[in-house]
Amino acid sequence: MKKRSAQLAALGASVAAAALLPLHATSAQAAVFNFQFDTTPDGTVTPPIAGVGTFSFDGPPVAGTFSLTSLPNYDFEFFFAGGTTFTTADITTPVANVEVAISLLGSDFSVNFGGSGGGEGSGSIDFNNGGNELSFQPDFGSLYRLNESIGTYQGITPVPGPLPLLGAGAAFGWSRKIRKRIKSSRPEVIPTSTV
């Protein structure tokens, strides 16, 4: 009986611990903002799409303004029609001058760039790859310039859902039921008197 009780207790502890893993894994995962670039400088991304890409960093997205250098393992990858690409290695702006603004946009987080500039294209963050230049509008604007073309960009990522919290709550509830079952299956010990 003791062995069965110990097994049930171990199972309950394992389930509770497993339910907590997503809570820690979520905060260690990378935030990935998916970018789309169009060809119209009107502040709204609409087809035709001229380019796509990602901006990512370690950790969950949180609304606020941050120095780019404060975001661990930040990474950029942009791909445009005609094969033009830009990566983190192509940044020409001093990265200490770049700020990242993350804000809530409906059910997504959006990202824009600002800061004191200092790159080749006078944008908030500039890239140069083989003579091709990509520059993001200063002061957290939504426009970009690719060589001589101007358009609108948008970088978004979904707001993380509450599923890990619901899983943890369910596991703790199940663990409580198991503890109650274990307690009810223990034989009652009646103390003997020492008279």
> Which runs of E-coded beta strand occur in 23-179?
30-38, 49-58, 64-67, 75-80, 85-87, 98-105, 108-115, 125-129, 132-136, 143-146, 149-158
Q: Which residues contact 138 (CB under 8 A, 6 or more apart)?
A: 114, 117, 122, 123, 124
**Tens-digit pLDDT profile for residues 30-39:** 899 999 999 9
What is the predicted pLDDT for the residue at 110? 97
What is the predicted pLDDT for the residue at 96? 96
How far is C-alpha 58 from the geometric centre of its chain's CA atoms?
A: 7
What is the predicted pLDDT for the residue at 118? 86
What is the predicted pLDDT for the residue at 117? 84
The helix or strand, by DSSP H or E, that contains position 191, with its residue range, turns out to be none
How far is C-alpha 53 from the geometric centre of its chain's CA atoms?
A: 15
Task: Give the residues of the chain that fall short of pLDDT 50.
Answer: 1-27, 163-168, 170-172, 174-175, 178-179, 181-182
Q: Is the peptide bond before 48 cis (omega within 30 degrees of 0)?
A: yes
What is the predicted pLDDT for the residue at 171? 46
What is the predicted pLDDT for the residue at 120? 87
**Tens-digit pLDDT profile for residues 3-57:** 434 433 333 333 333 333 333 333 458 899 999 999 999 999 999 999 999 999 9
Q: Would you tell me how many other CB atoms lie within 10 Å of the CB of residue 31? A: 19
The helix or strand, by DSSP H or E, that contains position 47, with its residue range, turns out to be none
What is the predicted pLDDT for the residue at 48? 95
Domain ranges within the chain, ordered by starting residue: 2-24+162-183, 29-158
* CA angle (179, 185, 191) in 5-degree steps: 105
3-state secondary structure of 32: strand
Torsion sign (Cα): 66, 68, 72, 76: positive
What is the predicted pLDDT for the residue at 113? 97
What is the 3-state composition of the chain as percent helix, strand, coil, each rounded to the nearest 5? 30, 35, 30
* Predicted TM-score of the model (pTM): 0.69
What is the predicted pLDDT for the residue at 109? 96
In contact, 50 and 174? CB cutoff 8 Å: no
**What does the block give as tokens for 115?**
């800061």
